[in-house]
Structures are given as C-alpha cells and as structure tokens.
Amino acid sequence: MALNLNDAIQACWKRIDEGQVATYIPALAKVDPYQLGVCLYDVDSGKKNCAGAANVRFAIESVSKVITLLYAIERLGLAKVEEQVGTRQTGFAFDTILNMEITKETKPLNPFVNSGAILVSSLIEEEDHRSPFDQILDFTREICHDPQVTLNEEIYQSELRTGDMNRSLAYYLKAKETLANDVTTSLETYFKQCSMMVTCESLANLGAVLANDGIAPWSGERLISSDAATYAKSVMMTTGLYNESGTYSVKIGIPTKSGVGGGLVASAPKYGIGIFSPALDPAGNSVAGLALLEMISRELKLDIF
C-alpha cells in the first residue's frame, strides 16, 4: 500500500482545530480533542494497517445505529424493518422532531436520525431473559470482533440526564403508535447502545464485514445476510453523515456512518475503515476524521462512483 497512514494523520492533524468535542453530553465534553486514529482492514489480504490513536476506546454513539439496524434486520427480516422506517434524507439535524411532523409521515424518515434509531431499538424484544441491550452488546462484540466492547456507565448516565430531546422523540413515536416497545425500555436500549466503548479497530472490523457482503473476513462465517449488508451501506451512503451526506458522497464516495464520540465507520469495496477523532463539525461529524477518510479514499482510489 503506497499510502503511509502516519503521514496522512500528520497531514490531517491541524484540521482538529476546526472542530469541537460534543458538549451536550457532559461525559463527552471531557474527551481530549487532540486525538486522531485510523485502522484499515484489507479484506483480500486479511491485513490490518492501523496508526495514531487506533486503540483508544471511545463512545460509539450514533455508529451503533448501524449495528442495531443490522441486528433488527437479522431478527425481524428486512421487509418488517422497512415497513417501520424509511430511507430518506430529513434535511434537519439528527435529533429533530420536525421531520415527521412537517412531512406528516407515520414512520421516521431513516434509521440514522434519532427518531428512526429509537424506533429500530424498540423493535428488539427481550428474549430468553436477555434484555434488548444485552443482545445488541453481544452482537456488537461479534460483528466488531471485539470481546472488550463494554458499556461505559458514566456516559450512559450522562446520556440519561441530558436526553430530553430523545425522550420527546420516543413519546412522539408512542403517540403515533409506531414505537414497538415501551418508552422506558426503548430509551434504555438506545442510550446504552450509544454508550458502548469501541476502538478504530472494532469499527474497521465492522466495516470489513459490510465490505465482504456480510461474511466475517477473519473467520469466513456469515454474520449477516447479503441483503442486510447492502441495505446498511446504501443508507450509510445517503444519510450516514446527516445533512452532509451529499457533500461527502461527492468528496469521499464511501458509505460512512459517524457518531458524536468522534467515530467513523466506512465500508469501501474490499476495505473496512475505522477512524476516531473527537472534534466535530456543526452537523456532528468528525472534522479531522473525514479529512483523513477523504485522503484515504483519494490515495487508494476507493470512491465507489
């Protein structure tokens, strides 16, 4: 591989100053913004190339929406999930309540804005005395090939304390009779899934499963259906970076999902990519992380268009 990831990190480092760590969740406000890490998983060779803060654990936040979506599809089937949540852009911020109200839709516009993500979380039912979150945690450990993914209790408590907009979204969905579980359980699942701690390497593994049509490249085992992998990548391309998805579709051209913890998962043909840098743009996407992904896409010619 011609690209030197340490050089790429150095080149993108100054972009950190253009962003700010998320402050609306107090536990995230304490994170050092001056971090940038990447892990690149080459599905064909099985080699991983990691640099910078690649092994630092951070809160997965909205990247978990991809995992819960995949788990819901595995549990309920794609048709059932598609009945409950759309795949359209909202034109609003990720936590807005306006998108459903203005469009008079009965279902959230996509699974990556908070209304859609809370709905998807509500679709997971308790099974064999295992809570929806316990099932999601196990599935995350499997699809990220990382048994050390755990719940960060401080971040979870912080999400609980400051999550009133999410609470209002859940009650709104309940009022529209679309929430599949009760409000308390649905929100507990959602807040906990956002509070899981991952690394760039965990996200590179997730991206590699998606890149490899649902098969774990490290074992050859199918973890999700081919349809689920294709569906998730399509929605990541169109809404994974919220209102900026179109901008980065042109600049980067790789299905990507961001989280306000500073994580990015990207799935290019033959590559899974995990990136972490906690300083965010106003839409909630990692600034230096996206600059680095743009450089990787250009150097390795990964733009799918």
Catalytic site includes residue 242: yes
Compare residues 223 and 280 and give the one whose CB is closer to ligand DON.
Answer: 280
Q: Is 42 in the site for ligand DON (CB under 6 A)?
A: no
Task: Count how many Cα atoms sit within 13 Å of the Cα of residue 299 in the half-sphere of its side chain.
Answer: 13
- C-beta neighbour count of 270 within 10 angstroms: 16
Query: In the complex, what is the shortest distance from the CB of residue 194 to ligand DON, in angstroms, rounded to a whole number?
Result: 4
Is 152 annotated as belonging to a binding site?
A: no
Interacting residue with ligand DON among 71, 94, 156, 271 (CB under 6 A): 94
Q: What is the DSSP string of 184-204?
A: HHHHHHHHHHHTBEE-HHHHH
Is 190 annotated as belonging to a binding site?
A: yes
What would the two tokens of residue 181 be? 């579980």
How many residues bind ligand DON (CB under 6 A)? The answer is 12
CA distance linking residue 269 with residue 169, whole number of Å: 35
Query: In the complex, what is the shortest distance from the CB of residue 30 to ligand DON, in angstroms, rounded to a whole number?
Result: 15
Compare residues 95 and 138 and give the one whose CB is closer to ligand DON.
Answer: 95
State which residue has the least CB distance to ligand DON: 62
Catalytic site includes residue 287: no
Q: Is the C-alpha dihedral spanning 115, 268, 225, 39 positive or negative?
A: negative
The SS3 call for residue 264 is strand
Catalytic site includes residue 265: no
Q: Is 166 in the site for ligand DON (CB under 6 A)?
A: yes
Helices 64-76 + 183-194 axis angle, to 10: 130
Q: Is 95 in the site for ligand DON (CB under 6 A)?
A: yes
Compare residues 253 and 284 and give the one whose CB is closer to ligand DON.
Answer: 284
263-268 and 58-59 beta bridge pairing: unpaired
CA distance linking residue 199 with residue 203, whole number of Å: 7
DSSP state of 125: P
Using CA atoms, how far residue 121 sits from 118, 199, 229, in Å, is 5, 22, 18
Q: Dihedral, CA atoms, 107, 176, 167, 140, nearest 10 degrees? A: -40
Catalytic site includes residue 65: yes
Query: In the complex, what is the shortest distance from the CB of residue 242 to ligand DON, in angstroms, rounded to a whole number?
Result: 7
Is 122 annotated as belonging to a binding site?
A: no
Task: Convert residues 276-295 into a mask of x (bound to ligand DON by CB under 6 A) and - (unbound).
Answer: --------x-----------
Compare residues 90 and 212 and give the one whose CB is closer to ligand DON.
Answer: 90
What would the two tokens of residue 255 be? 């299905």
Stretch 225-264 residues interacting with ligand DON (CB under 6 A)? 258-260
**Active-site residue, from 113, 260, 265, 287:** 260
Stretch 175-194 residues interacting with ligand DON (CB under 6 A)? 194
Give the H/E segment covering residue 79. Answer: helix 78-84
Compare residues 178 and 239 and give the one whose CB is closer to ligand DON.
Answer: 239
CA 235 to chain centre: 11
Task: Convert residues 112-151 into a mask of x (bound to ligand DON by CB under 6 A) and - (unbound).
Answer: --x-------------------------------------
Q: Which residues bind ligand DON (CB under 6 A)?
A: 61-62, 94-95, 114, 159, 166, 194, 258-260, 284
Binding residues for substrate: 62, 114, 159, 166, 190, 242, 260
Q: Which residues are catalytic?
A: 62, 65, 190, 242, 260
